[in-house]
Amino acid sequence: MSEFTVVLAPGAENDIAEAFGWYQERNATAADAFRAEVFGTIDHLAEAPLSWPADDEGNRKRVVKRFPYTVWFEVLGSTVTVLAVAHHRRRPAYWRK
């Protein structure tokens, strides 16, 4: 059992929904694979979120395998907050604003 709780910020939920919709319009199998990969990545954050170094603002990132997305998160106490699931090329730092 993990000592960390993972929560999704509303912006991260929107990121996932938008990307899933984009894949769904093109290929249902790819959409399902995207969703599984993203949530698998997020689930693993609860195990050892401090394994990924923090930047100057305290944000951490983990790249999603097989898809061009990065999960950006912060760790405050025992809570891991997923801030964004950002595409590598489309507005990659939009969520910092």
Tens digits of per-residue pLDDT, 14-23?
999 999 999 9
The pair phi, psi for residue 27, each rounded to 5°, is -165, 115
CA 27/CA 62 separation, integer angstroms: 25
DSSP, res 65 = T
CA angle 19, 41, 18 (to 5 degrees): 10
CA 84/CA 94 separation, integer angstroms: 9
Per-residue pLDDT reduced to its tens digit, 13-61: 999 999 999 999 999 999 999 999 999 999 999 999 999 999 999 999 9
Match domain 5-90 to its CATH number in 3.50.50.60, 3.30.2310.20, 3.40.50.150, 3.40.720.10.
Answer: 3.30.2310.20
Domain parsing of the chain, residue ranges: 5-90
| Cα 61 → chain centroid | 8
